[in-house]
Amino acid sequence: MFNRLLVIGVFVVGSLCADDGFDDEFEEDGFDDETIEIVQTTSVKKSDHSFKGSVTFSTSYNYKHHQPVNNTNNDFRGISSAKISSDIEYKYNIDDNYKLKSTLKLHKDFIYDLRDDNYKTTPKEYDQDIDINELYIQGELSNNTDITIGRQIVVWGKSDNIRVTDILNPLNNTTPGMVDIEDLRLGTTMTKIDHFYDKWSFSGILLHENRYSNLPQYGSDFAPSNQVMANSLSVDEPTNSIKNTGFALSAKAELNGQDIALYYSNKYVDNTTYRSNMAGFAYNKVIDSFLLKTEIAHFDNYDSSSVDKKTDALVGFEYNGISDGSISLEVANKDENIQYALRFTQSYLNQTLDFTALANFYGKELEDGGLIRVWFDYDIDDSLQTSFGIVDYQGGDKQNFEMIKDNDRLFASLKYSF
């Protein structure tokens, strides 16, 4: 409980110490008369190809684990990762109306080779993996209608921290709490048609691929140490067939400082053996320096007699009146449990140094457990960025958090973008 109160204090003190952003005054520009020089340039044809990406080295140090009782179990103490990963994005303009995009993710974690005496079991796909996360063709069917075919990411909802209506793409949850949702989504093969009318956009989606979230694997300190129990948490994905194809509809609009979205889907529920109808609603509204947000999703779970229907809901706000910073709070009733997400961000040194603190807890009185993550991102130059921070896992009544309460770690990374 002390740590939970401490993080709230960090947020309050941080927000009070930041500039409020309300007392800025406009100054006269004071421009001198200048001579305008007209320079003749030659037009350059836009390349049909574009290629960019990044290479990242990341590491972490577990400082709270104890020596394993059984020598056949992994010893998670000390350095727990020495990973090199890369994200590569390729775009190709097929013609004036159609383009192709591909995103490749790959990594190699050398910790399992460097500390093979400590890691008796290597978790599946933790040591190395290659994934084509996106591969699609996008183009125009008409002036107001687009089509996108292939593996892609489609974001639903307004929340940055808690998923309520954002259900179309699974997540890479192999190391929970270490990365934000926006960097965890896994691409899914779909056919999506978008139609634009005035301020509205309407989408119809066929979900051809039943791809499930990646859960912690046996041999990881985020999975049960019992192999049978660890393997039982994952469910085989349904075959990708016409019968198992899901579909989804959405309608979205941006209307005078407010966003509204309506959603419907019929698909397999992530990591389960049943399908569900979902009807959802999301809404944002700007009031002065506040962004108010809400989401509601109702699931009927119609083809499973063992699972009842449910309704998840979220309310939250984001305050942007802090100069170069913001603070947000989101509260959700999800899976019949209360979840809180409190985030504070602040930029320094001409926005080259970003500080972020995130507290994510479960239970009406925070009794179910959660985590606190605090980190800095620093731009060394346009192509080089470093990050470092700490994550503290809090045990509680919720079994999955009680199980990982000793997983606290320091982490750091160095990223080169090209």
Q: What is the DSSP string of 385-411?
A: EEEEEEEEEE--SSHHHHHTTT--EEE
Residue type at 78? G
Q: According to the model, what pLDDT value does residue 46 have? A: 59
Residue 151 DSSP SS3: strand
Q: Report the Cα 200 to chain-centroid distance in Å.
A: 26
**Cα(162)–Cα(358) distance, integer angstroms:** 12
Torsions phi, psi of 16, nearest 5?
-75, -35
Mean pLDDT for 243-265 is: 96
pLDDT at 70: 83
C-alpha to C-alpha distance for 78 and 231, rounded to whole angstroms: 26
Which pLDDT score is estimated for 327?
98
Q: What is the rounded CA–CA span in Å between residue 162 and residue 157?
A: 10
d(CA 94, CA 135): 14
Query: CA 287 to CA 294: how far, in whole Å?
Result: 14
Banded pLDDT at 172 (limits 50, 70, 90): very high
CA distance linking residue 260 with residue 165, whole number of Å: 13
Alpha-carbon distance 162 to 365, whole Å? 18
Give pLDDT, residue 27. Answer: 40
In 235-368, where do the E strands start and end?
246-254, 258-268, 275-287, 290-299, 310-319, 325-334, 337-348, 353-362
Is the confidence at residue 334, as pLDDT, over 60? yes
Question: How many residues in total does the chain contain?
Answer: 418
In this predicted structure, what is the pLDDT of residue 307?
Answer: 78
List of residues 6+ apart from 133 with CB closer than 8 A:
103, 104, 105, 151, 153, 186, 187
Give the DSSP letter of residue 38.
Answer: -
Residues 274-290, mean pLDDT to the nearest whole number: 96
Q: What is the pLDDT of residues 110-126, one digit of tens each?
A: 999 999 999 999 999 99
Which of 29-43, 165-179, 274-288 is predicted with the least confidence, judged by mean pLDDT? Answer: 29-43
pLDDT for the residue numbered 6: 46
Dist CA 245 CA 189 (whole Å): 10
Look up the pTM and report it. Answer: 0.86
pLDDT digits (tens, 9 = 90+) for 125-135: 999 999 999 99
> For residue 220, is pLDDT > 80?
yes
φ/ψ (deg, to 5) at 37:
-105, 125
